[in-house]
Every structure is written in C-alpha cells, then in structure tokens.
Amino acid sequence: MLKLAKYLKPYMGLLLIAIAFLFVQAIADLSLPDYMSNIVNTGIQQGGVENAVPEAIRQKEMNKLSLFMDEEEQNEVFKRYQLVDSKSSDYELYLKQYPVLSQESIYVLDEVDQAEIDLLNPIMGKAFLTVSGIERMKSEAKDGMMDFNGQKIPADTDLFAILSTLPAEQRLEVKEQINEKFTVLDDQMIIQAAAAPVKAEYEALGMDTEKIQNKYIINTGIIMLLISLISAVAIVIVGFLSSKTAAGLSRNLRRDIFQKVENFSKTEIDQFSTASLITRTTNDITQIQMLIVMMIRMVIYAPILGVGGVIKAIDKSPSMSWIIAVAVIALLVLIAAVFVVALPKFKLIQKLVDRLNLVTRENLSGMMVIRAFNTQKFEEKRFDQANQDLTKINLFVSRVMVVMFPTMMLIMNGVVLLIVWVGAHQIETSSMQVGDMMAFMQYAMQIIFAFLMMSFMFIMIPRASVSAQRIAEVLEIEEDIKDPKQPKDFIKELKGVIEFRNVSFKYTGAEENMLKNISFTALPGQTTAFIGSTGSGKTTLVNLIPRFYDVTEGQVLVDGVDVRETTQFALREKIGYVPQKSSLFSGTIESNLKYANEEATDKDLQQAAEIAQAMDFIVEKPEHFAREISQGGTNVSGGQKQRLSIARAIVKKPDIYIFDDSFSALDYKTDIALRRALKNHTEKSTVLIVAQRISTIMNADQIIVLDEGKVVCKGTHKELLEKCQTYQEIAYSQLSKEELA
C-alpha cells in the first residue's frame, strides 16, 4: 500500500478537507448523547430547571435559605440578587413575570455568567435541600410531633423562627449536621435534588412551570436537530471528497499502468499474462478505489469517534470506565482472530480471479477450436474448477464475516446489559443520573461501532494490499528497453540501410543464445528474405530491428546508428511492421488503415488497399472503407485480416518494411499479385520478409537461411539451390524442380 501512497499526493488538499469534516461529524455525533442526557436529566426529571440558582425567589424564602449559609456564602448570594418591591422602578416589569410580587417582595437574580452560576449552585442547592427537608419533616410528622435534631417537638412549631433566634455558631452546627447528608452527592446531583424545591418556588412566584419545561425540551431538541443536520452535511461532503479522491487516484493508476504496459518490451510482456494485466488494471484498481473511499470515511473517522467516545464516557462516569475497557479488549481479541484466519485467504483471491479470467479469455478467443474438437465438456469442467476454487475462498471469507458480526453484536448487547446493571445500582445510591447512564450507553455503542468499522476495514485492507502489491509489480518493473539520455540522429544520406554485426541474442532465463553471431546487410530497393525450419529464430531476428528485444551481443544498425542509441519513437517511425499474427482494432477499415498515418488521404488508403489486394472485399459492402471491424477483426477472414494489416503498413510509407510471415493466409494467386504490386511500390524501401513458403521469397534479392539460430547460407534463390543443402531440403519439400527453376 505504501508503494502507491505517492498517488495520494495530488489529493492531499481534498484529504485534509475531508479529515476536517470528519472531525466536525465526530464532534456532532459525540455531542448528541450529552443533549439526550440533558433532556432526560434536566428536561424531564428536573422539569426544565437547569440550576439550583432560581432566577427569582420570594424574600421570605430567601430568609429561610440564608439561615443555612455562613457569612461568606450569604455575601456571595446577596451581591448577585436585588430586592424588588412595590417601590422599585422596574416593579411593573417584574410584576408581569412574577405575579406574587403584588403580595410580597422578591429577590431577582442579576445578569451573571456561567462561572458565577457554578459558584452559587452548591450554596443555593444545599440550602434549598435543607429547607425542603425541614418542611418535609413537618408534613410527615406523626401524632402531632416531629423529630428534629434528635428531639421531639410539636409539628406546628416554626422551626425557621427558632433557628433565626439562635446564635450563628449554633445555626452553623445544625447546618453542618444537615450537610453531612449531602457528602455523597456531587454538584450535579445536588442540582437535580434541588430542582424540585426550585420548581415549587417558581410555582409560588406565579410562573408557568410547564412552559419552562416544554421550552427547555423543545430548545434542546432543536439544537439536536441542527447538530444532526450538521453531521449529515459533513457526511455528504466527506462522501463526495472521498469518492473524488478515490476516483482520481484510480484514474491515475489506470493511466500509469496502461502507459507502463505500452512501453513494455516483449521481455516484460512475457512476465505477465494478458488476463493478469487486465485483472490488475480493472479488478485490482477497483479494490484500491473501494478501500480509499472506505478508508477516508471509516478508518480515519473510527479512531476519532472511538477516542472521543472513550473520553466522553469516562467524563460521564469514571466509575464505569472498566466496562469500556472490557468491551475494547473483547473486540480486539475478536478482530485479531479474524485477521489471523482470513489474511492468508485474501492473498489467494486475486490469483484465483486471474485464473478465472485466463480460462474465460481462452474459451472466448478459442471458441471455434473448442467446438471443432468437441471439447466443450472439458472446457466446462476447467472453467467450473476455476470458478469453484474462487467460490470456496470467497465463501470461507464470508463465513468468517458471518461469525464476526453476530459476535460483535453479542458483545454490544452484553455491554448494554452490563451498563444497565451497574448504572441502576449507581442511580439507586444517587451517584449517577438516569440521563448520564443513557448517555454512557450511547458512548459505549459509539465506541463499539468504531471498532466495528475498523474490523470491516481489516477485512478490506488485506485484499486491497494484495491488489496494491500486484499493481506495484507492474509499475515498478524495470524496463529492459529504454531510450538513451542523449539519442543520436540517423545519417540522412542513408534511408533504410539495416546492418547486423555479429548479433547474438538470448531470452531472459535461457541457458544459451537463440541467435548466434548473425551478420548481414539489407539495402534500400532490395528484398531480404529469411527462411528456416520452425524455431530457427526468424521472427526473433526481425524483432530486434524495431527493438522489441535488445541484442545480447553485437549490434543492429539502422541508417548507420545502433538502434540502442536512438529513440524508440524515431526508430519505429522508419518501419512499417506486419506481425506474424495480424491484429486489427475495433472501428472501421478506414480507422484501421489510418492507424499507421492519421494524415493519410482517401487516395492513399485506396492505393494501399489495391496494392494489398484488399479492394475486392472492401467494395463488396456499400460502406466500403466505413465498414465496421469488430474487436480483433473477428468479422473478417484470416486472409482479409492479413491484407488489411499489409495495407496499413503501406499507408505509413516507411523506409523499411518488415513482413513477418504475413502472406501465409493468402492463396497462391493473391500472393503473387500482392508481391508484384508491392515490389513496384517499395522499390526505394528496404523490404524484409519472413516466410515459410519458398514461392513467397523466390524473387528476393537476398535470402538468408537460418538453422538453430545460425546463418547457414546466404544468397539468391538460384545460388542457394546450387550450394545450400538446408535450403534445398526446404525447397524440394514444397515445390518440384520445374517449379523451382
């Protein structure tokens, strides 16, 4: 994977923007449980009362509360409240908000910030709880007596009046005794406990407490909707950016692989099968593209969500953090087990895809041969075997996934059950709020979901890494044939002169040379032919001229320059090549002929077709040169395909023609007519012909006879018939003495 990391460089800007939006999405998703907790804790349980510091309070109630504050706390409270009565300038304003003001004076809270609220919360909260506790004792009195501070006193006794007459020291003692009850409560629990008396105070002031509750829940709900909208927008943007990045990277990979393969010599092409190169360019790159999309959307997002969830969960309840640890350990063990079991199988999948493509491609391209020999059943079994092998591996991986996801759900449900069990006990002891337990549960789910996403990526990454390795193999292969840094120009006075100087050639990995010490010169205006038994090296020899292979020893010179010392483009511009296996491209006859020269005129195309004896079947159809050619030229015969390939080379008007057994599919009459027309057209060019038939090369100016990679004879047809035994054996096996004369 790291070998392809450089392809992400052009998209680093998009990647960084995507990561920024992932943080936005994660923050939004992590904040939702907090707001849900607030709705439960504050909106429902506390009736919308957020603090133990009321926005207004009756004067007599404030007097009760102040009994249970020390001097410093009283100062902190009274300096933030102002007394409002009928003489106050803003009396009418406050009267609308607090109707009880018409009957008694009230204290109204000044504009304070959250820090000041946090300071007053424990002071006012404990005071409210103390006052409400004393009042509850009165309501719960039995037989007209109540228990206060260990003493039985009449229920109708005004305790607050009695407490107000006590010295400050005694009141503080009572306060400390009462405060011992609150030591187990944190500030948030004190606020929640004090919410009921604060709400009762609001009702006493004449405020609509139901409206306060509804307003809080609705406002919090609107905030949650806005946060969800922000999260949705972030998801869409991240999806767009990740898709754009992945698609661009895949496009660049396909382009580079195609360009790389285009520059392959036959040595590199022989290392990869056609089916494998197709798989690498399509299926393997698709795997990388899918991984990039999922990696940006999941691999980067999952750790943010997981870490954020852990921090938030611990903040909500440190005492239950061990549950998160247990869940994470269980998930890691599961993922590690899946990774160890599944990884070896992923390495096989792409090889099996190659195998399946290879079998399919061979069946499609060799369909006529298969039918001719009635081997359909054999090919069906061969395809079925390749298909079954791939299916078995995919089924194994699918079964692993089938086991993994339910196991994760089991862990998730077990964690939920454990949180409810432990949380219920903490709620019972007033050390946790219901909303906090629900939020903790949500954070636990988010953490497990993050691991679920990462586990899914662990399934994709091994397969994608195999694909990346296969792609890197193509991109990193060292090309045998390269252009020189300082190429030489051809000698202008020479046009088509070819010279082999003591040339030897050995295929990569071979033990001995295929061609051995070959020397000859081919001149413009002459035809040089090569003949020999199958495997004697004829095609290999002519492939050295356009530099499809590089010589092992010696030199191949074209127009006085070693072919290794000039550019491949310049060299091949001088050559019109007709391969042993004719190849046409999907399109029209015109587009195939113009493949050699885009600027060729209609006259040039017609002339080339006439020379190649192709006009007879071209004019058979009304489309003429606009006639469609299917991929590989499957809708024309072998002879027609050869003639169109020859016409294509003629359209180029090169200095050198190479015909590699290019007349084998032609009948004798067409062969003679084509060679006669070709000789008149190529009288200033160098013509090289590889042939199996003596009749094709009898009129060549120079015939080179090859046997086991060596030149055994060289001369004209007449000279070779007289002195070359190898040539005689080939000639007399094909024609009679009269035909050879």
The C-alpha atoms of residue 502 and residue 553 are separated, in whole angstroms, by 7
Q: What angle do CA 168, 173, 177 make, to 5 degrees?
A: 145
* Assigned token pair, 27: 């923050």
Can you give the three-state secondary structure of 300-358, one letter per residue?
A: CHHHHHHHHHHHHHHHHCHHHHHHHHHHHHHHHHHHHHHHHHHHHHHHHHHHHHHHHHH
Q: How far is CA 590 from CA 5, 56, 677, in A?
A: 43, 93, 21
Averaged pLDDT, 420-436: 79
Reported as a single tens digit per residue, the pLDDT across 300-355 is 888 888 888 888 888 877 778 788 888 888 888 887 777 777 767 776 776 787 78
What's the average model confidence in pLDDT over 177-202?
Answer: 75
Q: 581-653: same fold as 484-574+655-670+683-741?
A: yes
What is the CATH number that goes with domain 581-653?
A: 3.40.50.300
- The predicted pLDDT at position 281 comes to 84
**Identity at 367, one-letter amino acid code:** M
DSSP β-bridge partners for residue 658: 577, 688
Please state which CATH number belongs to domain 271-476: 1.20.1560.10
Q: What pTM, to 2 d.p., does this model score?
A: 0.71
CB burial of 75-98 (b: ≥16 within 10 Å; e: otherwise) equals ebbeebbeebeeebeeeeebbeeb
- List all residues 6 or more positions away from 530 whose beta carbon is below 8 Å from its beta carbon: 538, 541, 542, 688, 689, 690, 691, 703, 704, 706
Look at residue 476 in the predicted model and tell me its pLDDT: 80
Beta-bridged to residue 547, according to DSSP, are none
What is 646-672 written as a DSSP string? HHHHHHH--SEEEEESTTTTS-HHHHH
Which of the four pLDDT bands, split at 50, 70 and 90, describes residue 142? Answer: low
Q: Does domain 484-574+655-670+683-741 have CATH number 3.40.50.150?
A: no
CA distance 456 to 397: 12
Helices (H) then strands (E): counts for the chain: 28, 17
Continuous H helices in 477-546: 538-543
Q: Where are the domains of the chain?
A: 51-207, 271-476, 484-574+655-670+683-741, 581-653
pLDDT in tens, 352-376: 877 887 888 778 777 777 877 788 8
Residue 118 is predicted with a pLDDT of 87
* Average model confidence (pLDDT) across the chain: 83
What is the DSSP-derived secondary structure letter of residue 691? Answer: -
